[in-house]
Amino acid sequence: MPAIAANTLTLPRIAGPAPTDTERPVRSVTTGPRGFEGEGFPVVRAFAGVNARDLDPFIHMDQMGEVEYQPGEPRGTDWHPHRGFETVTYMIDGRFAHQDSHGGGGLIADGATQWMTAGSGILHIETPPAELVESGGMFHGIQLWVNLPRKDKFADPNYQAIEGTQATLLSSHDGGALVRIIAGDIDGQAGPGSTHTPITLAHATVEPGARLDVPWSRDFNALVYVLSGRGAVGPVGHPVQQGQLAVLGPGDRIAVTADTSQDSNRPALEVLLLGGRPIREPIYQYGPFVMNSKSEIIQAVEDYQSGKFGAIPPNALMPHRPLR
């Protein structure tokens, strides 16, 4: 269950459509394959098989979990580099600790977001805190990679800690859905995240049988990712379920409807709404480096190997590895 909940009756309501508004049609629905990341935590590769032009300015997204860990099982990542983009880690349930080579860090817990601008280069680690490793517990979140435009590829690294209580909360027009805006804006209401390129990122809970209809900037692309539950997207009601991504075509609004019947352990439809103004610049990616040319990738590897991304701090966080 999402950590941040609210009584929708007390929240600002999203305005209904104008007579001339059009719903964005569904262009494709893909199912993300499952795999493992870092030291072995389970993920769904949300963007697998989707054309990069449809994702721009986003590059990559993993749904981390949803998994109920037993004691000793939680996993994270080891120290690793990034350059040329931003990582956005949103913890829906559970806790993740972050530390980086430029002084950023803290605990990402239950509804909080860590927004890290790698820019010119950074080292970081994300790992479950020791108490979670000992106790086990729920782990469920998202990591999204947002491309930086050419002019910001070498920006100074930065870290934003966005607590769950800072997200802007809205209600659907009929009160049947709760929307948490993390960045960008919906219907004139802005989220707390500061971005280098115009994007919107929001998490919505749609109750069984309810419909969410939100305005969406015409110059943004539009993606709907299903975190859990079942429902339909778009004007003709394309069916979607957990682990699927709907890429939408042009229009003024995004419409999502939850099925009237949901699984007992997934009482509502949970979706991410995301989109942005495409950058339309060349993308060269090599692992954790995302640049505009092959020569910049080579330079990134050389700069990392020569220590220009900073150093692992003394007494740094380290990944949990079980004794064998």
Question: Which residues line the annotated binding site for Fe cation?
Answer: 80, 82, 124, 126
- Backbone phi and psi for residue 112, each to the nearest 5 degrees, phi listed first: -90, 160
Contact 258, 268 (CB under 8 A): yes
Residue 297, Cα to own-chain centre: how many angstroms?
25
Q: What residues have CB less than 8 Å from 323, skipping those under 6 apart?
A: none
Question: Sign of torsion, CA 130 308 143 111?
Answer: positive
Buried b (16+ CB within 10 A) or exposed e, 76-109: bbebebbbbbbbbbbbbbbbbbbbbbbebbeebb
Q: What residues have CB less than 8 Å from 244, skipping those under 6 apart?
A: 29, 30, 31, 32, 225, 226
Q: Is 218 left (phi over 0), alpha (psi -120 to 50) or beta?
A: alpha
Report helix, strand and coil shares of the chain as percent, to nearest 5. 10, 45, 45
Contact 83, 157 (CB under 8 A): no
Contact 11, 171 (CB under 8 A): yes
* CB neighbourhood size of 285 (10 A): 16
Enumerate the known binding-site residues.
Answer: 80, 82, 124, 126
Residue 30, Cα to own-chain centre: how many angstroms?
17
DSSP per residue over 76-123, as a string?
----EEEBSEEEEEEEEESEEEEEETTS-EEEEETT-EEEEE-TT-EE
Instruction: Walk across the sheet containing 158-162 and list its strands.
Output: 34-37, 41-45, 58-69, 137-147, 85-93, 113-117, 158-162
